[in-house]
């Protein structure tokens, strides 16, 4: 294991986070400051809870967190709701029944990798599209969107869709991400178009 991997793995254990992935979100927050006290946040692919724990630290007890994952786990704060569900079966109404709008939608979702890069990429992009569609359906006008996706042939189409939906879009590669990893993150702010069915509206 490389030193950088050892560093973030050990740091996560020392700071009480279930996984090293939390530092990818921390880096984005340090640079963008999009998570704020009192916010309502949607965390997709939340298990084992590292991102959720950090989000709760930032938004505080006046905020609200909805965490979604197909893997069962329990909420660890009063202002946290866990939905155990396959993301492909998750509808906007499931989320809007809990909160009328979300200030941020974050996604660390990834498919179970097969070792076949092209297939893994396509599955990752499909998850990212679903995350984007949910963000556009339930996000507030000034919603922030932070989403993991695997690089590959279908990434440009996903990025174009994000750019059509948000006023500002950036592609980020966190320092805490393994150098050999194909994962990157798309960060968008301020919704300018909403989803209607499979299309976009002004």
Q: Which of 24, 26, 53, 148 is catalytic?
A: 148
Beta carbons within 10 angstroms of residue 114's beta carbon: 10
Beta strands in 100-198 (DSSP E): 102-107, 139-150, 166-172, 183-191, 194-196
**From residue 51, how far is each of 117, 118, 121, 194 by CA, in Å?**
26, 27, 23, 26
Half-sphere exposure of 107 toward its Cβ, with a 13 Å CA cutoff?
29
Q: Are strands 166-172 and 199-201 parallel, antiparallel or unpaired?
A: unpaired
The answer to whether 24 is a known catalytic residue is: no
Those residues with Cβ within 8 angstroms of residue 38's Cβ, 6 or more apart along the chain or in another chain: 59, 60, 62, 63
Active site residues: 148
């Amino acid at each position: 294991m490389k030193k950088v991997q050892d560093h973030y793995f050990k740091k996560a254990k020392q700071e009480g986070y279930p996984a090293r992935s939390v530092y990818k979100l921390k880096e984005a927050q340090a640079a963008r400051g999009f998570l704020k006290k009192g916010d309502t946040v949607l965390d997709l692919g939340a298990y084992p809870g590292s991102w959720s724990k950090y989000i709760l630290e930032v938004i505080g007890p006046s905020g609200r967190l909805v965490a979604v994952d197909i893997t069962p786990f329990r909420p660890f704060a009063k202002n946290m709701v866990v939905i155990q569900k396959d993301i492909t079966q998750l509808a906007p109404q499931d989320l809007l029944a809990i909160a009328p709008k979300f200030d941020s939608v974050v996604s660390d979702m990834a498919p179970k990798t097969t070792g076949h890069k092209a297939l893994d990429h396509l599955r990752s992009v499909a998850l990212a599209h679903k995350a984007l569609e949910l963000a556009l359906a339930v996000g507030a006008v000034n919603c922030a969107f932070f989403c993991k996706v695997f690089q590959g042939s279908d990434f440009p189409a996903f990025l174009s869709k994000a750019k059509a939906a948000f006023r500002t879009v950036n592609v980020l590669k966190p320092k805490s991400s393994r150098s050999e990893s194909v994962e990157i993150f798309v960060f968008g702010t301020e919704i300018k178009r909403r989803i209607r069915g499979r299309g976009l509206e002004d």
